[in-house]
Amino acid sequence: MTDFSLLGISGALRAESLNRKLIREAGRLSGAVFTEANLNVPLYDGDDEENEGIPTSVQTLSDQIAAADAVVISTPEYNQALSGVLKNALDWVSRTEGNPWQDKPVAILCAAAGRTGGARATYSLRLAMTPFQPHLLTGPEVGIASAFSEFDEQGQLTNPRYVKALSGLMDGLKASAAR
């Protein structure tokens, strides 16, 4: 595969989000043509869907997932689970035509303040992804613990162990996309 296209999804919206930094690191270390998704979509409301259809921002997200060779999702850990922002976006995308996730190579990451590196958030995201039947990579696991001190001023990971794990995960993603 010459140009490997990677869509990065951060489950946190804030500009300085550590999960946003982490998907950018995934893009950098993979050497991919990297696109960053925007989860700033409306809250799912069945009445709005019935009256107004799929919001443009949701259709754009769905189209980006469908077009990418692979997707990397980094969720923050909120109260031991994935973020509501991310779950809302997943629910909206499931209402679009077709299933953009079907057999899509997907890697899950987490940057969390706690010492577990968001292990529970990543498992809850795995469960949340199951209905869409993507090809979810199982490892190497990348959960950045105490993440506020793991990025330098350029937003790059400083710990070689995390760089190695993320690079390995991206290699697996590329191999999966090439099959």
Q: Which residues pair with 111 in a beta bridge?
A: 144
Note whether 23 binds ligand FMN by CB under 6 A.
no
Note whether 119 binds ligand FMN by CB under 6 A.
no
CB atoms within 10 A of CB 152: 9
Is residue 60 within 8 A of residue 93, CB to CB? The reply is no
CA dihedral sign, ordered 77, 80, 84, 90 = positive
C-beta of 112 vs 177, nearer to ligand FMN: 112
Note whether 143 binds ligand FMN by CB under 6 A.
no
C-beta of 112 vs 170, nearer to ligand FMN: 112
Distance of CA 105 to the CA centre of its chain: 11
Note whether 78 binds ligand FMN by CB under 6 A.
yes
Note whether 14 binds ligand FMN by CB under 6 A.
yes
Q: How far apart are CA 167 and CA 45, in angstroms?
A: 39
Q: How far is the CB of 74 from ligand FMN (least distance, A)?
A: 7
Selected binder of ligand FMN within 80, 94, 96, 167 (CB under 6 A)? 80
Q: How far is the CB of 126 from ligand FMN (least distance, A)?
A: 16
User: DSSP 3-state assignment of 152?
Assistant: coil
Selected binder of ligand FMN within 94, 99, 114, 172 (CB under 6 A)? 114
Q: How far apart are CA 103 and CA 143, in angstroms?
A: 23
Q: How far apart are CA 12 and CA 77, in angstroms?
A: 10
Note whether 157 binds ligand FMN by CB under 6 A.
no
Q: How far is the CB of 13 from ligand FMN (least distance, A)?
A: 8
| Chain residues in the site for ligand FMN (CB under 6 A) | 12, 14, 17-19, 76-80, 111-114, 118, 147
